[in-house]
Structure 1
Amino acid sequence: MHRFKDLEIWKQSRKFCTDIYAVTSKFPESEKFGLTNQLRRASVSIPCNIAEGSSRSSNKDFSRFLEIAIGSAFEVEAQLLISSDLGFLKPEELEALILKLQAIIRMTSKFRSTLS
């Protein structure tokens, strides 16, 4: 069992959620139940799956939850790109978020490979 609060992947993905909440608070009100909700839920899914997986008794189970977290990260990336296409994000906001997200994906993938 791992202490999720000590994991850098959890810390970074938790901070990333704050970034997502901040940027989506500027989205149009008409997106409250659309992209705003989707982005927030998918971004929260990343640290939550890391936390839940850390409670599992086997590395195989933890690895599966990390895979789900990575899937959520890719979902967030797609939604960020769509948000940018719709003009909800400035190019520099998109770039900064994508860079943070890619770092989280790399770190999580690398950590996951150590569990095998």
Structure 2
Amino acid sequence: MEKIRTHKDLRVYQASFEAGMEVFIISKTFPKEEVYSLTNQIRRSSRSVSGNLAEAWRKRRYPKSFVSKLSDVEGEAAETQVWLDYALACQYINEEQHSPLIKKYDSILGMTVTMITNHDKWTL
């Protein structure tokens, strides 16, 4: 098992960054009239997942702050799934794009909940 030195070493961070980049790439195809609504919302929430993970990692010496930031991660990941559902319903993406991303965010949510549940293993 490799030692985790920074947030970038966390599997959940790596997965969230990769998923956020995938969201960015597919959101480039959204209609121009969505630029200030769905496109902006989905990009912000997807990027916020990895951003909040980085913050949580730096706050791990304070268990309540660590768990609070991880709760933010959970919320942003779930919000991203909602925006993906809207993108599918509006036919901006197809099921082949939607399903794998939903599964990736399910995995991110699972890892985050595990970290919250076992926060004592992660905090200093």
TM range (shorter): over 0.9
In structure 2, the residue matched to 1:40 is: 43
Structure 1-normalised TM-score? 0.94
In structure 1, the residue matched to 2:105 is: 101
- Unaligned runs of 5+ residues in structure 2 are none
| Partner of residue 93 from structure 2, selected from 78, 89, 94 | 89
- Matches of 2:79 and 2:11, distance apart in 1: 21
- Unaligned runs of 5+ residues in structure 1 are none
Q: Which amino acid is 1:24 matched to?
A: S
Q: Which amino acid is 2:17 matched to?
A: R
In structure 2, the residue matched to 1:4 is: 7
Number of equivalenced pairs: 115
In structure 2, the residue matched to 1:53 is: 56
In structure 1, the residue matched to 2:67 is: 63
- Percent sequence identity is 28
Q: Which amino acid is 1:90 matched to?
A: N
Q: CA offset at residue 60 of structure 1?
A: 2.0
In structure 1, the residue matched to 2:31 is: 28
Summarize deviations over 1:67-107 as a string: whole Å, max 9, x none: 10100011111111111111111011111110111011101
Q: Which amino acid is 2:113 matched to?
A: S
- Matches of 2:6 and 2:64, distance apart in 1: 16
The Cα RMSD (Å) is: 1.1
In structure 2, the residue matched to 1:114 is: 118
Secondary structure of the 1:27 match is coil
Structure 2-normalised TM-score? 0.88
- Matches of 2:20 and 2:86, distance apart in 1: 18
Q: Which amino acid is 1:31 matched to?
A: E
- Matches of 1:11 and 1:59, distance apart in 2: 22
- Matches of 1:76 and 1:5, distance apart in 2: 21
Q: Which aligned segments of 4 or more residues in structure 1 are displaced greater than 3 angstroms?
A: none
